[in-house]
Amino acid sequence: MMKDFLRDKLQDMMDKGILERGLMILDDQLDPIRRLLDQRCVPDTGWTPKQIDLFLAMLSSMDTDKDDRAARVGEREGRTASDHVLSLASGFSHGIGRSGEIAAVQPKAAGGSILNELTSRMATSMLKKIGLPAIDSAIVLPMATGMSIGLCLAAIHQEWVDKNPGTPWQRTDVIMPRVDHKSPLKGIKLAGFTPVIVEGEVDGDGVIVPLERIRKAITGKTAAIIST
């Protein structure tokens, strides 16, 4: 559509061959964006920095804080005093989610909501590619490791409670490979769970955790298995 529009408006300004060459280059730059919106999965070929910047600029321009006709006085309006700070966030100043639902569409951030949904779908496609073909969906949380783990575990607990009212919750253990990173342990404990550490073993220049050890650690009290 854009290509046809530009051809119609610019054909009287230069030779047809030169114009078509320019439109072809522009079309090549925009093609990855079209394919991402169509396929909604991780691209097979990486994008150039310019393509990434262009896509983020397009989406951030859809948020209401960019609307010069809007009053922009609402309590949840995105505001940034410094253009430099705004540029560090690629033009986005709104949060994601709405009224406690982190995956919900934010009415004042159409572009940010699209980016949030695309990110989750790309994460899902990547997890399927690396060995989890049966996974239904995923979500990328804009928080640090420990807080993200705590939030996910709390959601698992709440979902179980909602489906089993009056039944005591007994799955209190979370299995994880031994790591020196303390944040995951804090996140597990924050959600009210007990970490069950599975020791690894040295394998060449690295440390691996044999799957058999993880299988042996699974009991009727196991709520989740995580790895960071």
**pLDDT tens, position by position, 62-95:** 998 888 887 766 666 778 888 899 899 899 988 7
Residue-wise pLDDT tens digits, 20-44: 999 999 999 899 999 999 999 999 9
SS3 136: coil
| Cα distance between residue 149 and residue 225, in whole Å | 11
Residue with tokens 């699209």: 114
pLDDT of residue 108: 86
109 by DSSP, 3-state: which?
A: strand
Q: Which domains, and CATH codes, for the chain? A: 40-129 (1.10.10.2160), 145-225 (no CATH)
Q: Tell me: the pLDDT tens digits for 141-167?
A: 778 889 999 998 998 899 888 898 888
What pLDDT sits at residue 75?
Answer: 63
122: left (phi over 0), alpha (psi -120 to 50) or beta: alpha
**Per-residue tokens: 228:** 């960071």
Is the pLDDT at 204 greater than 80, yes or no? yes
- Residue 32 identity (one-letter amino acid): P
Region 115-137: what's the mean pLDDT? 92
Cα distance between residue 53 and residue 162, in whole Å: 42
Tally of CA atoms within 13 A in the half-sphere of 154 that contains its CB: 11
Residue at token pair 């983020």: 56
pTM (2 d.p.): 0.73
Q: What is the mean pLDDT of residues 43-62?
A: 94
Burial of 216 by CB count in 10 Å (0-12 exposed, 13-18 middle, 19+ buried)? exposed
Q: Which residue has the tokens 């804009």?
A: 142
Closest CA to 95 of 56, 139, 141, 57: 141
Measured CA distances, 117 to 120, 123, 217 (Å): 5, 10, 35
Starting from the edge strand earliest in sequence, which strands make up the sheet with 194-198, in order? Answer: 194-198, 173-177, 222-225
Q: Which two tokens stand for residue 22?
A: 């320019």
